[in-house]
Amino acid sequence: MAYSRRHADTAAAFSEIAADYDAAYGPQGNAVMTWMRDESLALLAATFPPGSRLLELGCGTGEETVALALAGREVLATDIAPRMAAIARAKAVRAGMGDRVRVVALPASDIAALRPHQPFDGGYASFGGLNCEPDLPAVGAALAKLIRPGGVFVTSIMGRTCLFEILWYLAHLRPRRAFRRLGGGWRLVPVAGEGAREVTVPTRYLTTRQVVAAFPAFTVEQILALPLLLPPPYADSLYRRHADAFARLARYDRRLRDHWPWRELGDHTVLVLQRR
């Protein structure tokens, strides 16, 4: 696929905040994001045994990349933003994982250009990376060739119906904000840098149906919400003020999140797809 204007805008936005991205969303910067990343890593670790060769789309600063490498996986990590990719690469080297991690600055829809010596055992795209990709069918077609039959691809997308967001903003008499995700078009979504600085990223909220349609070589093995009952990362201050209450809710979150209808009502929706 040709490198589009949306690709360029996305790469520029994430490169601009790359240096302080961890301060905003890393372990010390955002407690909700830390909880979500821990849950995501637990799912990835359970899905991909040690020794697996994995392809990551949208690696960001490499938090999941390095964690999985430290736990015995090999990862070819890609990210559209060159500065994000550079930080992930440096982080892997500092962790002593330079032999298990390779990082390439590449849009998700251009991964067909990769030439691995053998198919990957699986892959993943966490925390809305595919929401910024204009050509999902190109991603699905490339992954069908890059992942071995029987391999698994795990992706978490920002869905169109976030139960917490709807209830929270309706309670605060902000209906437009409550239902802002329902439209399927592109919009500029703010992403925080350090302090009050923000950039906006071209984003569209996706349905599971859209993802499944773009991945015809894969079957759906599991769908779950992440999180369901906890607030989205942008409401981290609320989470911190009521940490004990949300810690109790987290137990119910884990019980409900893969059951219908709850599984598609989270801030993110996780799809576990198996290559036919």
pLDDT tens string 69-88: 999 999 999 999 999 999 99
- pLDDT computed for residue 4 by the predictor: 87
- The whole-model pTM stands at 0.96
- Kindly give the parts of the chain with pLDDT less than 70: 1-2, 193-196
Per DSSP, the residues of 195-254 read TT-EEEEEE--B-HHHHHHH-TTEEEEEEEEESSSSPPGGGHHHHHHTHHHHHHHHHHHH
Q: Give residue limits of the domains in the chain.
A: 5-275
pLDDT on residue 184: 80
What confidence tens digit (pLDDT) does each residue in 47-59 have?
999 999 999 999 9
Radius of gyration in angstroms for the set of CA atoms belonging to the chain, rounded to a whole number: 18
Cα–Cα distance, 150 to 177 (Å, whole number): 41
Q: Which residues of 133-171 are buried (b: 16+ CB within 10 A; e: fewer)?
A: bbbbebbbbbbbebbeeebbbbbbbbbbbbbbbbebbee
- The tokens describing 65, both together, are 């990349």
- Both tokens of residue 29? 């910067």
The hierarchical CATH code for the domain 5-275 is: 3.40.50.150
Work out the widest C-alpha separation in the chain, in whole angstroms: 56
In 3D space, the residue among 112, 165, 119 whose CA is nearest the CA of residue 142 turns out to be 112
Tokens in use for 168? 């929270």
Q: What pLDDT score was predicted for residue 27? A: 85
